[in-house]
């Protein structure tokens, strides 16, 4: 991947039209890689996106003693489990993970600080090795995301925690045992960690108020193929009967609903006509309903959808909620849509308290936005105005590029390493859809001395 000094230049206004294929879900692939730690031997994952976060997670696993390497993509066949909505073409990358009999138990701060998802090795390593030492995670600057529910749930299962110098150390001297766990909030990360710990725990674990995201179902599908006993996938209550060992498998990741939703909202914003393939449209029912309410024509099929828009969008209100609600990761694109819609929109963010951090950048493009706590009131404009802006996280970066397509003149988005963490071949896909966009290495900023 190229450095953080790269910029994406967008010449607007532009209209997106054509077909784009979505690869595997980032938020599933990362956790499936961690799940591979539960079984010694060679696990192969197909349809894995080629993004920075996957490369970082691969290095996390290597430093735990795993041999991780890419393999050619493959169409599902005998012995390949496939999550619903997975691509059925060979374009997605494959990833081979050879797990040793005794993987390491310590993760490095220099990697964990760059990838919050790496905390998901906590559950698998605690289940396999009985101890783990993990650095407190970093990741996107989108608000507080504590580990309280992870720790509380694993403690109920027999784990003991201590921490100092930015590290969390967990041990389970007598092994993990099944327990009833109630989550205060349907946290995806906590659900994943508890689920992956419970599959090797003694007895039965019940996770109530569990997250219901498609990525959770994908993990359950893979774990079941590995020999786990899980019921309730996709519901708010997961029941896991622990087993003594699991086996490695070959699995295909589901399609990325967030990338697909980005293209759906971008087609609407730019008054375009985009067909998206490689994802189950049922993952995006509310997002596609919002697009249709704004005036777009939406057609769905089993592995994708088409969004066509021939007029200025109508303003729609959006409220982010846990799945099956409107995904928080699509909120930046929803703000961009509101910024060019006819009328005023109320956008409410219920998941992360820092999601509106990028709003000043959108305002630089001429958007009329007023925020108050978790609410943003947006008065739409016919066109925005190109300007230099800065990406603050993965989705904000994509949202700013899409807003640049709705602006007169040139928009320059810096800090695009954030976008690299979630969108493979982003600029290439945009150009295939007709956007006048380029990625360039920015000159170094000037230095000043007193």
Which range is least confidently modeled, 174-178, 179-183, 339-343, 360-364? 174-178
C-beta of residue 16 within 8 angstroms of C-beta of residue 274: yes
Burial category of 144 from C-beta neighbours within 10 Å (exposed 0-12, middle 13-18, buried 19 and up)? exposed
In this predicted model, what pLDDT tens digit does every residue of 197-231 receive, in sequence order? 999 999 999 999 999 999 999 999 999 999 999 99
Give the pLDDT confidence score for residue 80 in this predicted structure.
Answer: 55
| Pick among 3.65.10.10, 3.75.10.10, 3.40.50.20, 1.20.1250.20: CATH of 26-252 | 3.65.10.10
Helix (H) or strand (E) holding 31: helix 26-35
6-22+256-441 sits in which CATH class?
Answer: alpha beta
Residue 342: how many other CB atoms lie within 10 Å: 14
Q: Which residues contact 140 (CB under 8 A, 6 or more apart)?
A: 116, 393, 394, 418
Give the pLDDT confidence score for residue 82 in this predicted structure.
Answer: 54
Residue 180: how many other CB atoms lie within 10 Å: 11
Q: Which residues are catalytic?
A: 140
Of the candidates 327, 354, 328, the one whose C-alpha atom is nearest the C-alpha of residue 144 is 354
6-22+256-441 and 26-252 agree in CATH topology: yes
pLDDT band at 76 (very low <50, low <70, confident <90, very high): very low
In this predicted model, what pLDDT tens digit does every residue of 267-312 receive, in sequence order? 999 999 999 999 999 999 999 999 999 999 999 999 999 999 999 9
List the structure tokens of 302: 């089993």
Every domain of the chain and the residues it spans: 6-22+256-441, 26-252
In this predicted model, what pLDDT tens digit does every residue of 412-436 receive, in sequence order? 999 999 999 999 999 999 999 999 9
Q: What is the mean pLDDT of the chain?
A: 91
13 preceded by cis ω (within 30°)? yes
């Amino acid at each position: 991947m190229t450095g953080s000094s790269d910029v994406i230049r967008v010449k607007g206004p532009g209209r997106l039209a054509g077909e784009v294929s979505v690869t595997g879900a980032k938020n599933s692939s990362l956790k499936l890689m961690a799940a591979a730690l539960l079984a010694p031997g060679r696990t192969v994952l197909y349809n894995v996106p080629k993004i920075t976060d996957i490369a970082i997670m691969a290095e996390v696993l290597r430093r735990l003693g795993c041999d991780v390497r890419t393999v050619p993509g493959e169409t599902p066949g005998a012995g390949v489990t496939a999550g619903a909505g997975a691509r059925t073409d060979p374009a997605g990358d494959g990833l081979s993970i050879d797990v040793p009999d005794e993987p390491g138990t310590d993760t490095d701060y220099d990697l964990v600080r760059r990838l919050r998802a790496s905390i998901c090795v906590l559950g698998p390593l605690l289940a396999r090795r009985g101890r783990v030492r993990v650095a407190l995670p970093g990741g996107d600057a989108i608000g507080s995301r504590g580990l309280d529910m992870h720790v509380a749930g694993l403690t109920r299962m027999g784990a003991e925690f201590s921490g100092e110098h930015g590290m969390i150390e967990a041990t389970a001297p007598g092994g993990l045992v099944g327990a009833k766990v109630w989550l205060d909030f349907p946290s995806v990360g906590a659900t994943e960690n508890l689920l992956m710990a419970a599959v090797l725990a003694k007895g039965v674990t019940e996770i109530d108020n569990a997250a219901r995201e498609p990525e959770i179902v994908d993990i359950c599908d893979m774990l079941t193929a590995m020999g786990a006993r899980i019921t309730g996938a996709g519901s708010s209550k997961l029941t896991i009967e622990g087993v003594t060992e699991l086996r490695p498998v070959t699995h295909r990741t589901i399609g990325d609903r967030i990338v697909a939703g980005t293209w759906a909202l971008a087609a609407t914003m730019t008054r375009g006509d985009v067909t998206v393939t490689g994802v189950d449209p049922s993952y995006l029912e509310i997002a596609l309903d919002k697009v249709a309410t704004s005036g777009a024509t939406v057609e769905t099929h089993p592995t994708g959808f088409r969004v066509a828009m021939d007029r200025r969008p109508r303003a729609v209100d959006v409220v982010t909620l846990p799945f099956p609600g409107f995904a928080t990761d699509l909120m930046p694109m929803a703000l961009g849509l509101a910024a060019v819609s006819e009328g005023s929109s109320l956008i409410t963010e219920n998941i992360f308290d820092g999601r509106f951090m990028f709003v000043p950048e959108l305002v630089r493009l001429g958007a009329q936005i007023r925020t108050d706590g978790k609410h943003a009131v947006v008065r739409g404009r016919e066109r925005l105005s190109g300007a230099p802006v800065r990406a603050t996280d993965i989705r904000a970066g994509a949202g700013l590029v899409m807003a640049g397509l709705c602006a007169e003149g040139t928009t320059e988005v810096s800090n695009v390493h954030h976008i690299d963490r979630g969108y493979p071949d982003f600029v290439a896909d945009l150009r295939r859809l007709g956007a006048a966009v380029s990625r360039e290495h920015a000159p170094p900023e000037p230095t000043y001395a007193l």
